[in-house]
C-alpha cells in the first residue's frame, strides 16, 4: 500500500504531568515512543515562551509563515499515520486547530489535532468519485487520531500512572460530536451571497476587518450586561442587534470600518436564520459575539 498520512499534533503540558514522571524530558524523545503503522516526524520539548515556526503549513491554513507561540511547557509530537492510499490531498476542513490544541495543553490536557487526511481549507473537488477521501474526512481520520492518541498517551504517561492514580483522569473533552455538514456547506454558500460575495467590490460586501470590528463592538457593548466582563456574551438570543448603529455617521466605528447602507443590510441578513420556500427556518444565522469568519 502506498503510505498516506494523516498528520497529528500532540501537546502534553508538563505542568500537568503526574508525579510518577519525575523527568518529563526523558519521555519526550522519539526513542521512547513506538506507533504501529505510524512514522514519528518530530518529538520536541518546549517551554513557555518558545515560538514554533510551521513552514509547511498550506496557505489556507495561515501558512507558510505561520508560527505558534508556546504558552506552557509541553512535549510536541508530530506523527504521520498510514490509513489508506488516498490521503494528503487538499480540500475543506484540513487545518490542524493549533489554537485549540494550545489552549488545552495550557490547561494540562493531552491534546490532539488532525487534518483528517488532507491539507487546507479550500476546494471540494477532491470528494468527487473518491469514497476513500469521504471516509477519511467523515469518520476515519478522527478514528485513527483517537487510536494513535491513546497509544501516545499510554506510552508517555505509562500504565502505572493510570493504575496508581485513576482519579487523575476524569474523561475526554471531544469537540463537535455531531456535525450537520450538508446544511453547513449550503448555509455558508447562501450566507456568502447575502454579504456580497463573490463581487468583492460590491457596496454590499463586508470586508473581514469590518466583521472583526463589528464582533468586537457588539461584545464590548453586550458583555457587561450579565454582570461579568469576560469577553463572552451570555445568552446571545436574549439581545437584539441592529447593525444600523454601526452605519456611517453614527461614530460607533471608525470612518474606514463603518457600514454603508447595503453593508448594513448584509450584516442584518447574516444574523437572520436561513428559511426554506415555506418560510420555515432551516439553519441558524450568526450568533452575537461569535467568530464570523467565512
- 5 Cβ neighbours under 8 A, 6+ residues apart: 39, 80, 81, 82, 83, 87, 88, 117
Which is higher by pLDDT, 190 or 132? Answer: 190
Most confident of 144-148, 213-217, 270-274: 213-217
Q: Is the pLDDT of residue 55 over 60?
A: yes
Q: Is the pLDDT of residue 282 over 60?
A: yes
Q: Is the pLDDT of residue 29 over 80?
A: no
- 132 Cβ neighbours under 8 A, 6+ residues apart: 84, 85, 86
Tell me what pLDDT residue 76 has.
82
Instruction: Give the distance between the most distant pair of CA atoms in the chain.
Output: 66
Alpha-carbon span 136 to 114, nearest angstrom? 11
Summarised one tens digit per residue, pLDDT across range 84-123 is 555 554 445 567 777 778 777 777 778 888 877 666 666 6
Most confident of 46-50, 176-180, 243-247: 243-247
pTM metric for this prediction: 0.44
Amino acid at each position: 500500500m502506498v503510505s498516506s498520512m494523516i498528520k497529528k499534533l500532540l501537546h502534553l503540558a508538563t505542568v500537568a504531568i503526574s508525579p510518577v514522571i519525575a523527568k518529563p524530558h526523558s519521555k519526550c524523545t522519539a526513542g521512547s515512543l513506538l506507533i504501529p503503522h505510524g512514522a514519528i516526524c518530530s518529538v520536541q520539548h518546549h517551554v513557555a515562551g518558545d515560538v514554533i515556526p510551521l513552514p509547511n503549513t498550506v496557505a489556507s491554513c495561515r501558512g507558510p509563515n505561520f508560527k505558534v507561540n508556546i504558552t506552557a511547557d509541553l512535549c510536541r509530537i508530530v506523527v504521520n499515520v498510514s490509513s489508506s492510499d488516498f490521503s494528503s490531498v487538499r480540500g475543506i476542513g484540513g487545518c490542524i486547530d493549533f489554537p485549540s490544541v494550545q489552549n488545552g495543553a495550557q490547561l494540562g490536557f493531552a491534546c490532539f489535532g488532525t487534518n483528517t487526511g488532507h491539507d487546507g481549507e479550500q476546494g471540494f473537488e477532491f470528494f468527487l468519485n473518491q469514497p476513500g477521501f469521504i471516509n477519511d474526512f467523515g469518520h476515519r481520520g478522527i478514528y485513527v487520531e483517537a487510536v494513535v492518541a491513546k497509544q501516545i498517551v499510554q506510552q508517555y504517561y505509562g500504565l502505572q500512572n493510570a493504575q496508581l492514580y485513576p482519579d487523575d483522569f476524569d474523561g475526554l473533552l471531544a469537540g463537535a460530536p455531531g456535525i450537520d455538514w450538508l446544511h453547513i456547506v449550503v448555509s455558508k454558500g447562501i450566507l456568502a451571497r447575502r454579504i456580497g460575495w463573490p463581487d468583492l467590490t460590491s457596496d454590499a460586501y463586508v470586508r473581514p476587518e469590518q466583521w472583526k470590528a463589528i464582533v468586537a463592538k457588539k461584545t464590548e457593548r453586550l458583555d457587561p450586561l450579565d454582570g461579568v466582563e469576560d469577553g463572552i456574551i451570555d445568552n446571545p438570543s436574549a439581545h437584539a442587534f441592529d447593525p444600523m448603529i454601526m452605519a456611517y455617521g453614527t461614530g460607533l466605528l471608525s470612518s474606514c470600518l463603518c457600514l454603508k447602507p447595503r453593508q448594513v443590510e448584509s450584516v442584518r441578513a447574516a444574523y437572520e436564520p436561513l428559511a426554506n420556500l415555506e418560510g420555515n427556518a432551516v439553519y441558524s444565522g450568526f450568533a452575537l459575539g461569535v467568530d464570523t469568519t467565512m
